[in-house]
Amino acid sequence: MVQLFEFASLQNCFSTKTHNRWATALEYVKVLLVNPSRCHLSAISDNCSTVNNQSFSYFLSHSPWDHRLLIDWIITNGWWLIGKNGALVIDECGNPKAGNCSVGVNRQYCGNIGKVENSQVGVFMAYVKNGYRLLLDFRLYLPKKWTEDRSRCDSAAITPEFQQFKTKVELAYDLISQAVGAKIKFSFVAMDGFYGKHPWLLTIIEKKGVTYVADIGCNEHVIIEKPEYGIPPKKGIRGRMPSIIKVLNTIPVSVEEIQKTIDRWRIIRIRESTDGFLEVKFTALRVWRIDKDVNEPIPVWLLIRKDIDVSNVKYSLCNEYPFQTWSKLARIQSERYWIERSFQDAIDLAGMADYQVLNWDAWHHHMALVLLAMLWIAKEQKHFLSVKKMITLQDIAKIIQTIIPLKPKTPLSIAKIIIRNHRNRKDSRRCKMKKKSGPLIG
């Protein structure tokens, strides 16, 4: 197997001044992959490590290593491992969190549980190609309730430059710009309907020369014939002269209405799935999208996909993609599926959602090390594919768990764990009773 400690250039990400920081990072990545229970720090130190939970806590929350150096390393090595001309996929991932102290926590929509809940939300970027996928970068979303409360931001150790409010769409643009700056050789960017409904984002990345495939809602409007822009003539003698530029020769139509008029569909096989091959009905039309800040025609492809049983219809816009067959267009529209798989891989195999940290650095340190753990698995998968064609990330995780042994248990170590857990429960109960100003029992 390719050993993680062979990635010698990684040491520079944790400063060359101390070997202990690099050794702790290695230990943390390993235990993320082999820990049999939730990856909170006590469980990690109990099961898998000679490093205690206080040392891990300090390493995540206070150790002064820059997670951006590690992420830059992962970006450079990650996309190269998977291969050029893949797709960048942008999506958000939320994790439910109790309390009000964890950085960025707020009542907001959490995709992991499908409802509004107290949670932290990050915007992530994955790189995918031919079913291979890897999370490369991320940004933590800070709601306005946080950025408007400087004392709260300072308590969470958020550096001043990040205390300015940014929408999730602006964070997505930052990720795309980062990818362009890192010279990732990607073919296009895929986004869901939350990002696709913001015309300014599509316009600005198009000006950067980036091809996008952005989902949109059924109520979004497009123009079905080339628009002519200008100031409309004045009607009647009363009122002011018109001064706002508008489309003169046609009116926008909702994509749902367009879909209802189409009778020419092609059945296309997208990919293999657990239920056999995924097949859909698909069509592509040339239309013009609307951006009220740009008074000129913006030609795009409208991609429409329906399930065979017509239970679900999906709409996407694609800008000036080089001419492709409908089969190719249908497949690139479906690439966003793989970031959901990336999230599930990271949650199941590397403890992405199992952290117990509060401040800004700790959240970013944990997420960066999760991405490093997933890169390790992906690299091992690439290595094993030359021997076994169908080996999966889950298979590789099992191999790693076999090779890296858990910390052996003794009667004394188990007794210490039990005593510690009882003490922690008692302290927690005492604290809650004190807050309620109730009587302390026992």
Tell me if 210 is assigned to some domain: no
Q: Domain end: 322, 338, 353, which one?
A: 322
Tell me if 161 is assigned to some domain: no
Q: With 70 as the cut, is the pLDDT of residue 442 above it?
A: no
Q: What is the pLDDT of residue 91?
A: 96
Q: Between 320 and 240, where is the model more confident?
A: 240
Q: What is the pLDDT of residue 23?
A: 81
Q: What is the pLDDT of residue 257?
A: 95
Distance CA 212, CA 191 (A): 8
Tell me if 35 is assigned to some domain: no
Question: What average pLDDT does this structure show over 170-186?
Answer: 96
Tokens standing for residue 299: 């030609």
Q: With 50 as the cut, is the pLDDT of residue 110 above it?
A: yes
Q: What is the pLDDT of residue 254?
A: 95
Distance CA 119, CA 170 (A): 20
The pLDDT tens digits for 23-82 are: 888 888 888 888 766 667 777 777 777 787 888 888 999 988 999 999 999 999 999 999
Q: With 70 as the cut, is the pLDDT of residue 7 above it?
A: no
Tell me if 334 is assigned to some domain: no
Q: With 60 as the cut, is the pLDDT of residue 2 above it?
A: no
Q: Between 306 and 274, where is the model more confident?
A: 306
The gap from C-alpha 124 to its chain's centroid, in whole angstroms, comes to 2
Tell me if 264 is assigned to some domain: yes
Which band of pLDDT confidence, cut at 50, 70 and 90, is reported for residue 344?
A: very high
Q: What is the pLDDT of residue 322?
A: 64
Task: Say how many C-beta atoms besides its own lie within 10 A of residue 354's C-beta.
Answer: 19
Q: Which of these, 112, 108, 187, 177, lies nearest to 139 by C-alpha position?
A: 177
Q: If you write DSSP's letter for every residue of 24-82 in order, what string do you get? A: HHHHHHHHHHH-SS---HHHHHHHT-SS-HHHHHHHHHT----HHHHHHHHHHHHHHHH
Q: What is the pLDDT of residue 440?
A: 45
Q: What is the pLDDT of residue 410?
A: 77
Tell me if 355 is assigned to some domain: no
- At a CB cut-off of 8 Å and minimum separation 6, what does 116 contact? 107, 108, 109, 110
Q: What is the pLDDT of residue 39?
A: 65
Q: Domain end: 274, 290, 322, which one?
A: 322
Question: What average pLDDT does this structure show over 307-333?
Answer: 85
Which band of pLDDT confidence, cut at 50, 70 and 90, is reported for residue 5?
A: very low
Which band of pLDDT confidence, cut at 50, 70 and 90, is reported for residue 111?
A: confident
Q: If you write DSSP's letter for every residue of 233-248 in order, what string do you get? A: PPPSSSSPPP-S-EE-
Q: Domain end: 322, 341, 358, which one?
A: 322
The pLDDT tens digits for 409-434 are: 778 777 877 887 787 778 777 776 77
Tell me if 86 is assigned to some domain: no
The pLDDT tens digits for 235-272 are: 777 778 777 888 888 899 999 999 999 988 999 998 88
Q: What is the pLDDT of residue 136?
A: 97
Average pLDDT of the chain is 87
Tell me if 273 is assigned to some domain: yes
Q: Are 413 and 318 within one domain?
A: no
Q: With 90 as the cut, is the pLDDT of residue 404 above it?
A: no
The residue range of the domain holding 422 is: 408-434
- Structural domain count of the chain: 2
- Please give the share of the chain, as a percent, with pLDDT higher than 90: 52
